[in-house]
Amino acid sequence: MELRSVDEVMDLLYACRGSWDSPGPPDGRADLHQHALRTAALLRRGRPADKELQVAGLVHAIGPLLSPGAGHAHPDRAADAVRALLGERVARLVRSHHRAGPDSDDDLLRLRHADEESRHGGFDAGVLEDWRTVLELVADRNSRLGAVD
């Protein structure tokens, strides 16, 4: 599935409410909607000017909704779904954040750290609608870059 508009991304993120990243008891699991908001919020705090990194944090966990039961393929499915709309950098970050290690670039490490930290933080990360403008900015920038190529 390829997401073609910010509205489609928003709808999918809203659909994440009440969906969990893994089966089993709540400890160690994350409600995908809150997890997405918290990850993006942590990245905004650490890198306020890097909208693509923040958006990668927002969409990194949509894989389970795109292909339930796909397990380890979730990051690949999420990356493939957002590439055309949000760009290659966002897709690369989404695809690779689970494999980030000491030799990974700084952005991957930041996303991985925010991903892990957001699972344990109970802070208020705001509401999804707050991210519409950022998604639109990244999508617009990506479409203009694509037109130049």
Q: What is the pLDDT of residues 71-87, one digit of tens each?
A: 677 889 999 999 999 99
Per-residue pLDDT of the chain (149 residues; tens, 9 = 90+): 899 999 999 999 998 887 765 544 455 566 888 999 999 999 999 999 999 999 999 999 898 888 777 667 788 999 999 999 999 999 999 999 877 787 779 999 999 999 999 888 778 899 999 999 999 999 999 998 866 54
CB atoms within 10 A of CB 122: 7
Which CATH code of 3.40.50.970, 1.10.3210.10, 2.40.160.20, 3.40.50.720 fits the domain covering 6-148? 1.10.3210.10
Sequence-distant (≥ 6) Cβ neighbours of residue 94 within 8 angstroms: 56, 59, 60, 75, 78, 79, 82
* pTM of the predicted structure, to 2 decimals: 0.89
